[in-house]
DNA sequence: ATATTTTGACCGGCG
DNA sequence: ACGCCGGTCAAAATA
């Protein structure tokens, strides 16, 4: 099994529509959405992210706050006290017609994804963050699988059962919150299906859109509005060791490769800010949600703070960048 | 029985 | 006024 042949190709947007922006200002236009884009890199090698992300240098016992807006909260169980991956799950379960398993599992490059999706996903489920994988970069691939999460356990992942089980238990929370799908549309612009989710918490206005490409790979996630509640308790429990703290703890430990194709902001108190470039094709859609939310607050208080506190932006974005993997053989993350 | 997903219909903004 | 398109609704299906 080619264990490290893929690249993540997902964009994460945060609806920053509350910002006062001049639509004629390109820079501002871009900033309407906080975008984190994971590219397969096939079509846009510029956006392939090369990161020296190594198990030994990343520590988190927080499995779920990673992608919570503004810190996404994939189910990521990273344990590095021993310098090895215990598990690292990106899972978005039961989204749409398939289970979107955000797992750091093996995923072929997009060129090889076509074909029997189920078979490929089954293969990919055999990921094992075992000793052999320790010296390889994490592959932040996304698996789209029709297989039930409970069947994900692979014989090889003997050392990861706990985290897998934990992941399953938390499958409903994905990014820490509960979502209910309320619609799906085929978006003409991109010809991709787009799913619409609402936070299931009573009166919570938060929504998110998840767009997938033809291979079922999530290409974009847009959050709208902010949660008016805290993260579900049982989720918080497992996330007690705040990933935010992790971010601050570890973001300075890594240096992105020079190949980093993000827009690097020159200022920000000497810190590196990497932003992925925003395709113009995405702007109309972003605009649309923005227009709906002129009066709304940003997607989360965290994000609002982010906007007001450049340092936070720096730390967050830089850290996320480390999680964007280029799995080219020659770029194994070694500096 | 309940919660969630699916999916066609509907609505409203925009050109 | 019309059609297109994205977003939402809601009944049915499914888990």
Question: Tens digits of per-residue pLDDT, A20-57?
Answer: 333 333 333 333 333 333 333 333 333 333 222 222 22
Name the closest residue (CA) to the C1' of nucleotide B12.
Answer: A292
Structure tokens belonging to residue A99: 């289970």
| pLDDT (0 to 100) of residue A121 | 37
Closest nt to residue A181, judged CA to C1': B5
| pLDDT (0 to 100) of residue A181 | 92
pLDDT (tens digit per residue) in A205-217: 888 898 887 777 7
Q: Within window 136-195 on A, which residues have Cβ closer than 7 Å to strand C?
A: 182-189, 194
Residues A125 and A103: their CA atoms lie apart, in Å, by: 9
**Beta-bridge partners for A145:** A99
| Strands annotated E in A23-73 | 33-37
**DSSP structure class, residue A291:** H
| pLDDT (0 to 100) of residue A172 | 42
Q: Quick one: CA torsion of A244, A249, A251, A254, rounded to 10 degrees?
A: -150
| pLDDT (0 to 100) of residue A184 | 92
| pLDDT (0 to 100) of residue A196 | 92
Residues A197 and A217: their CA atoms lie apart, in Å, by: 17
| pLDDT (0 to 100) of residue A235 | 54
pTM for the structure as a whole: 0.45
Residues A325 and A232: their CA atoms lie apart, in Å, by: 29
| pLDDT (0 to 100) of residue A206 | 86
Q: On chain C, which bases lie within 7 A of the protein's CB atoms?
A: 4-10
Residues A141 and A41: their CA atoms lie apart, in Å, by: 12
Structure tokens belonging to residue A250: 């570890």
> Alpha carbon A332 to chain centroid distance?
20
Q: What angle do CA A83, A4, A263 make, to 5 degrees?
A: 85
β-strand A218-224 against A11-15: which pairing, if any?
parallel
User: Under 8 Å CB-to-CB from A125, ≥6 apart: which residues?
Assistant: A103, A105, A143, A145, A147, A151, A152, A154
Q: On chain B, which bases lie within 7 A of the protein's CB atoms?
A: 3-9, 13-14
| pLDDT (0 to 100) of residue A326 | 34
Regions of chain A where pLDDT drops below 70? 1-174, 233-335
Q: Is the C-alpha dihedral spanning A39, A42, A46, A49 positive or negative?
A: positive
Do A227 and A303 contact (CB within 8 A), yes or no? Answer: no
Closest nt to residue A209, judged CA to C1': C7
What protein residues sit with their CB closer than 7 Å to strand B? A 94-98, 172, 178-185, 195, 197, 200, 291
């Amino acid at each position: 099994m080619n264990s490290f042949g893929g690249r993540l190709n997902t964009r994460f947007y945060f609806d920053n529509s509350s910002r006062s922006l001049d639509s004629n200002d390109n820079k501002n236009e871009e900033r309407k959405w906080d975008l984190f884009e994971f590219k397969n890199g096939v079509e846009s090698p510029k956006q392939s992210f090369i990161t020296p992300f190594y198990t030994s240098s990343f520590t988190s016992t927080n499995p779920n706050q990673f992608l919570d807006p503004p810190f996404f909260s994939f189910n990521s169980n990273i344990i590095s006290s021993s310098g090895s991956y215990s598990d690292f799950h990106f899972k978005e379960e039961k989204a749409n017609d398939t289970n979107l398993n955000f797992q750091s599992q093996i995923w072929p490059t997009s060129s090889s994804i076509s074909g029997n999706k189920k078979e490929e996903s089954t293969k990919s489920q055999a990921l094992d963050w075992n000793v052999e994988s320790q010296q390889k970069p994490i592959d932040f691939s996304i698996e789209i699988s029709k297989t039930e999460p409970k069947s994900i356990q692979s014989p090889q992942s003997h050392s990861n059962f706990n985290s897998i089980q934990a992941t399953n238990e938390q499958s409903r929370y994905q990014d820490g919150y509960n979502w209910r799908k309320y619609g799906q549309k085929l978006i003409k612009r991109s010809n991709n299906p787009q799913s619409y989710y609402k936070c299931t918490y009573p009166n919570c206005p938060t929504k998110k859109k998840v767009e997938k490409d033809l291979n079922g790979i999530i290409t974009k996630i847009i959050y709208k509005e902010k949660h008016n509640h805290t993260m579900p308790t049982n989720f918080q429990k497992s996330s007690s060791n705040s990933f935010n703290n992790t971010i601050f703890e570890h973001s300075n430990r890594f240096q992105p490769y020079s190949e980093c194709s993000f827009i690097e902001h020159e200022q920000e108190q000497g810190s590196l800010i990497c932003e992925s470039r925003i395709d113009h094709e995405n702007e109309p859609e972003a605009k649309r949600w923005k227009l709906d939310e002129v009066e709304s607050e940003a997607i989360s208080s965290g994000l609002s703070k982010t906007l007001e506190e450049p340092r936070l932006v720096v730390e967050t974005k830089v850290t996320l960048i480390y999680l964007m993997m280029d799995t080219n053989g020659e770029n194994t993350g070694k500096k």
